[in-house]
Amino acid sequence: MNTMINEGLVAEHNAKLQANLDADYAALAGVLQRRGQDIEQLTALAQTFAVAVPTWGAGTGGTRFARFPGVGEPRNIFEKLEDCAVINQLTQATPAVSPHFPWDKVSDTAALREIAQGYGLAFDAVNSNTFQDQLGQAHTYKHGSLTSQSAAVRAQAVEHNIECIELGRALGSKALTVWVGDGANFPGQHNLRGALERYLDSMRDIYGALPADWNIFIEHKLFEPAFYATTIADWGTSFACATTLGPKAKCLVDLGHHAPNTNIEMIVARLAQFGKLGGFHFNDSKYGDDDLDSGSINPFQLFLVFNELADAAEREGSTFNPAYMLDQSHNVTDPIESLMSSAVEVQRAFIQSALVDRAGLRQLQESNDVHASAQALKQAFRTDVSAILAMARLRSGAAIDPVACYRTTGYREARGVARPPKAGASSSGIV
């Protein structure tokens, strides 16, 4: 396997931290043992955790106002893969990458797949992009894509999605995620029902092009760029469309795509109950689609989402297998550090949710012991499982402290030399 970071450096880092980790792990093992829980089982479970990294997260994102490129940003999909390889090497929690077309320009899929495999990386869901125009495109998406009034625009958007399926198929992906910004800024701009009818017509054509073992994920989002009525604004619309389209269509929950205070864990429970939970874009937010690092604002919400996932997994067994992806991109941190932190925070919520004694909780709920039921969740959430996550990483060959280890490698500085910015990049605004 090709590694981006010298394995000796990782071993050196781990050697320095291992004695402290062993002590923390033994202490936590004792706490959990008193609760009747086996730390070794939890560590083995943590080693199975995987969340995909978005290729677009490896670069510096912009806001609607400006973009401030970082040092050594990846300039193409191959360089993004290098950074994704670093993230997986140091966390062993991100063995797949989720590409976005045509942001990721791919001409030789076989070569790309081989390079990814060399790093031990696979390709997760592919993402289409009909929310902005590309150079040389025949028809504009200014007034919508899959919902456009124009049959030619809709055909172009459908065709792009089918191309994404073809690319994904060549890369070994098994799902297409469709998010459209289509919607209206003003009352009266759209016939609300007509727009959704056109969306469904377009999606039927895309659905028809899916290989037998593929899924199509419908990603809803409350608003932005449409500020009055987004066509796929909520999980209800997403669920209705997924149900109408058929069994390969499922709903994707991006945590940032809801109104503030929405009970997202309940949405997760509902979609799981009716077999339509396709996957996640994990991130965190305070106000809107902020795309901040997972667990950075509301870690309790993330835990509660995983609590519902643990419940669904217990009920459904191995058939319950939603896709986990990160979706974040911002301006002010090193994306590799942020993506590693996010992967670890999602893994933390996964392990904390495994601490909940589900049979015990059911009994408390049945006897209407409200306080104790709430405390059962709180106790799991308050338990610091960092030592389990670090031990899982150590045993899987990753770094005990991924960000600290990364900072010793000089990787970013070296990329700054190897990847000089393109001329004019510092002033290029992303809108």
Q: Does 219 bind ligand PSV (CB under 6 A)?
A: yes
**# of chain residues touching ligand PSV (CB under 6 A):** 9
In the bound state with Mn ion, the residue whose beta carbon lies nearer, of 248 and 281, is 281
Strands (E), 21-140: 53-54, 96-98, 122-123, 126-127
* Least distance between Mn ion and beta carbon 180 (Å): 12
Establish how many alpha carbons lie within 13 A of residue 247's alpha carbon, considering only the half-sphere containing its beta carbon. 3
Partner from Mn ion, ligand PSV, none contacting 182, C-beta within 5 to 8 A by type: none
In the bound state with ligand PSV, the residue whose beta carbon lies nearer, of 289 and 293, is 289
Write the CA distances from 88 to 189, 248, 251, 324, 346, integer angstroms: 46, 29, 27, 15, 14
In the bound state with Mn ion, the residue whose beta carbon lies nearer, of 219 and 401, is 219
In the bound state with ligand PSV, the residue whose beta carbon lies nearer, of 32 and 339, is 339
Q: How far apart are CA 260 and CA 287, in angstroms?
A: 6
Q: Does 281 bind ligand PSV (CB under 6 A)?
A: yes
Which two three-digit tokens encode residue 236?
A: 């209800």
Q: Does 254 bind ligand PSV (CB under 6 A)?
A: yes
In the bound state with ligand PSV, the residue whose beta carbon lies nearer, of 53 and 391, is 53
Q: How far apart are CA 82 and CA 134, in angstroms?
A: 26
Of 175-204, binders to ligand PSV (CB under 6 A) are: 179
Which two three-digit tokens encode residue 253?
A: 């929950």
Reported as type and span, the H/E element at residue 406 is helix 402-409
Which two three-digit tokens encode residue 41?
A: 């089982």
Site string for Mn ion, 258-287 (x = CB under 5 A): -----------------------x------
In the bound state with ligand PSV, the residue whose beta carbon lies nearer, of 289 and 311, is 289
Partner from Mn ion, ligand PSV, none contacting 127, C-beta within 5 to 8 A by type: ligand PSV
Q: Does 289 bind Mn ion (CB under 5 A)?
A: yes
Question: What is the dihedral sign for C-alpha 202, 207, 211, 215?
Answer: positive
Partner from ligand PSV, Mn ion, none contacting 334, C-beta within 5 to 8 A by type: none
Partner from ligand PSV, Mn ion, none contacting 280, C-beta within 5 to 8 A by type: none
* Least distance between ligand PSV and beta carbon 192 (Å): 21
Backbone angles phi, psi at 211, to 5 degrees: -60, 160
State which of residues 73, 82, 104, 254 lies at the interface with Mn ion (CB under 5 A): 254
Q: Does 104 bind ligand PSV (CB under 6 A)?
A: no
Q: Does 280 bind ligand PSV (CB under 6 A)?
A: no
Q: Does 80 bind ligand PSV (CB under 6 A)?
A: no
Write the CA distances from 353 to 147, 346, 347, integer angstroms: 40, 11, 10
Q: How far apart are CA 155 and CA 143, in angstroms?
A: 14
Residue nearest ligand PSV (C-beta atom): 179
Task: Please classify residue 319 by burial: count the beta carbons closer than 10 Å to its beta carbon, then call 0-12 exposed, 13-18 middle and 19+ buried.
Answer: exposed
Q: Does 127 bind ligand PSV (CB under 6 A)?
A: yes
In the bound state with ligand PSV, the residue whose beta carbon lies nearer, of 230 and 373, is 230
Hey, which residues does 251 pair with through a beta bridge? 218, 277
State which of residues 49, 56, 235, 303 lies at the interface with ligand PSV (CB under 6 A): 56
Closest-CA residue to 90 (of 380, 415, 396):
396
Which two three-digit tokens encode residue 35?
A: 């609760």
C-alpha radius of gyration, the chain, whole number: 22
Q: How far apart are CA 218 and CA 323, in angstroms?
A: 13
Chain residues in the site for ligand PSV (CB under 6 A): 56, 127, 179, 219, 221, 254, 281, 289, 327
Chain residues in the site for Mn ion (CB under 5 A): 254, 281, 289, 327
